[in-house]
Chains A and B, each alone.
Chain A
Amino acid sequence: MIDFFINGQPVQAEDNQTVMQAAKANGFFIPYFCWHPQLSVPGNCRICMVEVETEAEGGGWLDIACNMPVTKGMRVLTDSDKVRARRKETLQFITLNHPVDCGICDKAGECTLQDYHYEYNGAPSISRDAKVHATKHFPLSERIVLDNERCILCSRCVRFTREISKSHALGVQSRGDHSLIRPVEDGAFEADPYSDNVVDICPVGALLSRQFLHKARVWYLKPTPSVCPGCERGCNVNIWHRKSEWKLKALDAKQNARIDRVTPLENPAVNGPWICNKGRDLARILERARAEQAMQKGRPVELQAAIDSARALIGTARQPVALVSSWGSNEELAAFHAALGQRFACYVKPDWLPVPGERLEDDLLIRPDKNPNRAAACALFPALPADVQSAFPPDTDLVLVWGEGFSFAQLPPTARIIYLNSYLQPENGHADVFLPISAQTERAGHYTNFQGVVSGFEACFAKKPGVADALALFAAIAAPAEGSKP
């Protein structure tokens, strides 16, 4: 450990830490654009310059904190007059050619440049010359649009593709103030399943997600912690949706219960600050058409009637088999185990298999099992065997299918079917009893990832009245029906 001083206060740094890292660890904030704790240090934005006091004539000298090794006894000032003056000058340069697009820029409200401008400068540009123009809408990929005028060439996006996703898909074309971020010409950026992380780490509104483009102002939205169900990594995410106080103002009721965007929620034990694009696209999974009506053999019935029928079937079954959802939360799985685990021969099924073209596995985040909670489920029940038919003894008379992804053609034709599912699917109508259940965004719970790390998700939206919570459902359908044998 190295003893030194920040703003007169004694602090400690670990060996080999830079002033930037040590300051952060000790709770001092030094502004930065190009520095990122997970990426290499380019030291190009120059906004992190701090003053180091010295007895020499002229007083302290200034240099960038992100590349400055901590030395014993050094006296660092992060907010002296010299530092403030330097920051103002640096911001003059950064905003020299930066278009004042705030009124139409998605980044407004979460823009580092906006924040620093208000915090450290507040002064208009001293230049009276026209700004240098560049490409406003460069199609970086189907998912991301690039505005080169807004770009401050911090190179975070380039370093991300070099060091984290390793697609080496972005680079800096040309030089000087003609420099432009550009994707490699063989389409590698389009194919990079982590591409959208550059939108998060871009400190300005240069890199924007097309699916979020002009959709909502961020100050109308709130992030709710959740877990991506896309694979067994269980990356922690924030699901952004309308703040409750802004719901009345929405023109369209659908906007009140919409996933506006998904961003990473940093968890050093699981995903760090990144997620893959599948997680960004969770709306595609979670906002499919919903099943909201209980049914018996396709005929709509009241939810309670369906529950009663299910209970009756379970009460009289002689050889019941259950296919357990690998999307069930820890709490739901425990409830299933408690209520129905003895009654049924249970097997864990994979609700989702990899789709064609989907990356199976890599060294970063993506895992081959595309279900969020196989670990917890398989701790309680055996997995469905590869020879699926062996799970159904010849006299199977009832199958409870929980969750999607299992073709009913594989079920014994003589068995009755109880089906629990969130989404509208043709199978729903073929089940003897169909019970619509809530989706992940409508409840709270936990998943256990493939390494045993438990992460929690909270509810974003209220479920519809005719939809049941699986958690409560298991106890309800397990209770012995009147007149049946236990």
Chain B
Amino acid sequence: MKHLIAEFDAMRKRYPAGAESSLVLPCLRRIQEDRGFVADNDIAELTEYIGVPRIQIEEVLSHYTQFRRAPIGRWHVQACRNLSCSMRGAEGVIEQLSRKLGIAPGETTADGRFTLSTVECLGSCGTAPVVIVNDTYHENMSPARLDALIEGLPK
């Protein structure tokens, strides 16, 4: 995490004084962006850097769905399973992804390329069904577009 400290120091400047505790979420996000997940020693180092009780960081990591403490597949395929998406074919999308990748939601392919998850509403209901791959939204996912998306992802 040490190589990120300069970034964290710069980030701090726009926060009000005494708001160090706020740094927990943005720092964790940056660490995860960098490493792919948050490692145990990241927690210790971040505790020291920010100065909040360590338990706060552990709690945050377990509360928010986007944080993870172990690596996942190179491509995190997240399919919305909420209302509008379900009404426009999300169940089929999830089933198609599961079949195509050979894994159930929550699992990672043996070669480590893909992790499949189902998620709740992504705020894109007008272009349902919607899938996120890593950070990018993919909207209006017909079966054909879905196949093309998966096949088009680099190894």
A contacting B, Cβ–Cβ less than 8 Å: yes
Question: A residues touching B (Cβ–Cβ < 8 Å)?
Answer: 162, 168-175, 182, 184-186, 188
* B4-12, B57-65, B110-118 - the one binding chain A: B57-65
Instruction: Find chain B residues with CB under 8 A from A186 CB.
Output: 44, 54
B55 at the interface (CB under 8 A from A): yes
The answer to whether the Cβ of B53 comes within 8 Å of any Cβ in the partner chain is: yes
Question: Could you tell me if B62 and A184 are in contact, using CB atoms closer than 8 angstroms?
Answer: no
Question: DSSP majority for the B interface?
Answer: helix
- Bitwise interface map of B from 23 to 52 toward A, beta carbon under 8 Å scored 1, else 0: 000000000000000001001100000000
Verify A184–B54 contact, CB threshold 8 A. yes
Using known A-B contacts A171-B58, A173-B58, determine if residue A184 contacts B53 with beta carbons closer than 8 Å: yes
Q: Closest CB-CB distance, A166 to chain B, in whole Å?
A: 9
Of the residues A168, A172, A173, contact of B54 by C-beta under 8 Å? A168
- In angstroms, Cα B54 to Cα A185, docked, is 8
Whole-angstrom CA separation of A175 from B63 in the bound complex: 6
Inter-chain contacts of B54 with A (CB < 8 A)? 168, 184-186, 188
Q: A173 and B44 in contact (CB under 8 A), knowing A168-B54, A184-B54? A: no
**What's the minimum C-beta distance from A428 to chain B, rounded to whole angstroms?**
48
Inter-chain CA distance A188–B54, complex, in Å, is 10
Across-interface contacts of B59 in A (CB, < 8 A): 171-173
Nearest chain-B residue to A166 (Cβ)?
Answer: B53
Q: List 6 A-B contacts (CB under 8 A).
A: A168-B55, A174-B63, A182-B58, A184-B55, A184-B58, A188-B54
Cα distance A6–B22 in the bound complex, in angstroms: 42
- Asked if B55 and A170 sit within 8 Å, CB to CB, the answer is yes
Question: Chain A contact residues: over half helix, strand or loop, or mixed?
Answer: loop
Pairwise interchain contact A185-B58, C-beta atoms closer than 8 A = yes
CA gap between A274 and B76 in the complex, in Å: 49
Q: Counting CB contacts under 8 A, is B56 at the interface?
A: yes
What per-residue 1/0 map shows which CB atoms of B53-95 lie under 8 Å from chain A? 1111011001100000000000000000000000000000000
Q: What is the bound-complex CA distance between A118 and B124, given in angstroms? A: 50
Flag if A169 contacts B62 (CB, 8 Å).
no
Alpha-carbon distance between A17 and B40 when the two chains are bound, in angstroms: 44
Q: Say how far B46's CB is from chain A's closest CB, in angstroms.
A: 13
For B, the interface residue count at a CB cutoff of 8 angstroms equals 11
Give CA–CA (A186, B46) in the complex, Å. Answer: 14
CA–CA, A378 and B59, complex, Å: 50
Q: Which of A162, A170, A174 contacts B62 (CB 8 A)?
A: A174
CB distance from A441 to the nearest CB of B (A): 38
Closest to A158 in B: B55
Chain A residue nearest in CB terms to B54: A184
Q: How far is the CB of B47 from chain A (nearest CB, A)?
A: 8
User: In the complex, what distance in Å separates the CA atom of A234 from the CA atom of B63?
Assistant: 42
Find the B residue at minimum CB distance from A173.
B62
Say how far A444's CB is from chain B's closest CB, in angstroms: 44
Query: Measuring CB to CB, which residues of chain B are less than 8 angstroms from any residue of chain A?
Result: 40, 43-44, 53-56, 58-59, 62-63
Bound Cα distance from A184 to B57, whole angstroms: 10
Shortest CB-to-CB span from B148 to chain A, Å, is 36
Least CB separation from B60: chain A residue: A171
List 7 extra interface pairs beyond A168-B56, A184-B54, A185-B43, CB under 8 A: A168-B54, A170-B55, A171-B59, A172-B59, A174-B63, A175-B62, A184-B55
- Docked Cα-Cα span, A174 to B40, in Å, equals 17
Q: Is the beta-carbon distance between A171 and B44 smaller than 8 angstroms?
A: no
How far is A88 from B40 in the complex, measured between Cα atoms in Å? 44
Residues of A within 8 A of B56 (CB): 168, 171
**How distant is the Cα of A174 from the Cα of B69 in the complex, in angstroms?**
13
Q: Which residues of A contact B43 (CB under 8 A)?
A: 185
How many angstroms between the C-alpha atoms of A184 and B58 in the bound complex?
7
The CA-CA distance from A186 to B58 in the complex, in Å, is 11
Kindly state the separation between the CA atoms of A423 and B32 in the bound complex, as whole angstroms.
59
Closest to A170 in B: B55
Closest approach, in angstroms, between the C-beta of B97 and any C-beta of chain A?
25
Report how far A244 CA is from B55 CA in the complex, Å.
Answer: 46
Q: Which residues of B contact A175 (CB under 8 A)?
A: 62-63
Q: How far is the CB of A32 from chain B (nearest CB, A)?
A: 24
Q: Which residue of A lies closest to B64 (CB)?
A: A175
**Are A168 and B53 closer than 8 Å at their CB atoms?**
yes
Docked Cα-Cα span, A251 to B54, in Å, equals 48
Top 9 closest pairs, chain A to chain B, by CB: A168-B53, A171-B55, A184-B55, A173-B62, A171-B59, A174-B62, A175-B63, A168-B55, A184-B54
CB nearest to A176 among chain B residues? B63
- Cα separation A323 to B75 with both chains bound (whole Å): 76
Q: State the CA gap A186–B44 with chains docked (Å).
A: 9
Q: Name which residue of chain B comes closest to A185, CB basis.
A: B58
Quote the shortest CB–CB distance from B102 to chain A (angstroms): 28
Which B residues touch A182, using CB under 8 A? 58
Which residues on the B side are within 8 Å of A185 (C-beta)? Answer: 40, 43, 54, 58
Q: Closest approach, in angstroms, between the C-beta of A286 and any C-beta of chain B?
A: 35
CA distance A175 to B40 in the complex (A): 21
Docked CA distance A173–B62 (Å): 6
Q: What is the minimal beta-carbon distance from B37 to any residue of chain A, in angstroms?
A: 16
Q: Which of B44, B56, B59 has the most CB of A within 10 A?
A: B59
Residues in A whose Cβ lies below 8 Å from that of B55: 168-171, 184, 188
A168 vs B63: C-alpha distance when bound (angstroms): 17
Q: What is the CA–CA distance of A184 and B61 in the complex, to the nearest angstrom?
A: 12
A174 to B63, CA, bound (A): 5
- In Å, the complex CA distance between A173 and B56 comes to 10
Q: Quote the shortest CB–CB distance from B39 to chain A (angstroms).
A: 12
Min CB distance B80 to A, Å, is: 19
Residues of chain B within 8 A (CB-CB) of A169 are 55
Contact partners of A173 in chain B: CB under 8 A: 58-59, 62
Q: How far is the CA of A173 from the CA of B63 in the complex (A)?
A: 7
Closest to A183 in B: B55
Contacts of A184 in B (CB 8 A): 53-55, 58
Taking the nearest CB of chain B, how far is it from the CB of A138, in angstroms? 15
For B47, give the chain A residue with the smallest CB separation: A186
